[in-house]
Amino acid sequence: MRDEDRNDIRKLSLFSNMTSPAFDALMHAAYDQVFPAQLELIRQGEAANFLHVVLEGAVELYAHWQNRDTTMAVVQPVATFILAACMRDAPYLMSARTLQRSRIVLIPAVDVRAAFARDPGFALAAVQELSEGYRNLVRHAKNLKLRNARERLGAYLWQRSLDAGGAKGFVLPQEKRLLASYLGMTPESLSRAFKALREHGVHIDGMRVTITDAAALKALVQPNTLLDTALNIP
């Protein structure tokens, strides 16, 4: 593994308070790999053998049932995913695929659990990470149940604008069909929701979004940290 990647991982809150020997042991057991775009990394139902860390690229977490699919989250560097399944030594509830060519570190779940038992700093960080993941999922579920499609899109755009430092204009980070699936609607409904938001201060041109009337958008979506999930891209 490259020293640079090692340092990036070390800086993650999950690993930053580990003792160096414990961190070294984890990294020693880990695999560093580059995967092409659209590769299925994990299939739901499989045993959770590895904690994954995305160093470069992006990974989609999705779920399927019968012949239906839905996007649950997009993981951006540098971040980990499926910690919960690793900790429980249980089957993955979600599948994962790369959205772009991605560099990913795989840490054997047994080593993660061992580090947890041995290193209190890591244990504390793991709980913080899980708790925050839990809370983000509560927000996702609340959002789905309390807002309609147009409001969900508006809230999403509002939050992306905040994430961009309050910029009025920004570019959608993923293609629209993925965004539609994440927001729990069809691509057609997303397209119509964008049109409907023109009346509420949002202009869209391809992937480029401009918030033309922040007050109007805010009035519609009533943004709220108890519902809206900030991306924590470092």
Partner DNA sequence: CATGAATGTTGATATTTGTCAATCAAAGGA
Partner DNA sequence: TCCTTTGATTGACAAATATCAACATTCATG
Nearest residue (CB) to its own copies, 146 versus 171: 146
Determine if 37 is a binding residue for its own copies (CB under 8 A): no
Return d(Cα 234, Cα 231) in angstroms, integer: 9
Return d(Cα 60, Cα 3) in angstroms, integer: 26
**Could you say which residues in the range 157-196 bind DNA, by CB under 7 A?**
175-177, 184-192, 194-195
Q: How many CA atoms lie within 13 A of 154 on its CB side?
A: 27
| Token output for 12 | 């993650």
Among residues 114, 130, 137, 204, the one that binds DNA under rule CB under 7 A: 204
Judged by beta carbon distances under 5 to 8 A according to partner kind, the member of its own copies, DNA, none in contact with residue 208 is none
Determine if 6 is a binding residue for DNA (CB under 7 A): no
Judged by beta carbon distances under 5 to 8 A according to partner kind, the member of DNA, its own copies, none in contact with residue 224 is its own copies
With CB under 8 A as the contact rule, which of the stretches 22-30, 31-39, 145-153, 156-164 interacts with its own copies? 145-153
Amino acid 63 reads A
With CB under 8 A as the contact rule, which of the stretches 33-41, 116-124, 163-171, 201-209 interacts with its own copies? 116-124
Determine if 216 is a binding residue for its own copies (CB under 8 A): no
3 state DSSP class of 126: helix
Determine if 120 is a binding residue for its own copies (CB under 8 A): yes
Judged by beta carbon distances under 5 to 8 A according to partner kind, the member of DNA, its own copies, none in contact with residue 189 is DNA
Amino acid 12 reads L
Q: What are phi and psi of 95, to 5 degrees?
A: -95, 165
Q: What are phi and psi of 75, to 5 degrees?
A: -100, 120
Return d(Cα 14, Cα 199) in angstroms, integer: 43
- Burial (CB < 10 A; 0-12, 13-18, 19+), residue 190, is buried
Return d(Cα 125, Cα 131) in angstroms, integer: 10
Where do contacts with its own copies occur on this chain (CB under 8 A)?
44-45, 63-66, 68, 70, 72, 83-85, 87-88, 90-91, 93-94, 116-117, 120, 123-124, 126-128, 130-135, 137-142, 144-147, 184, 222, 224-227
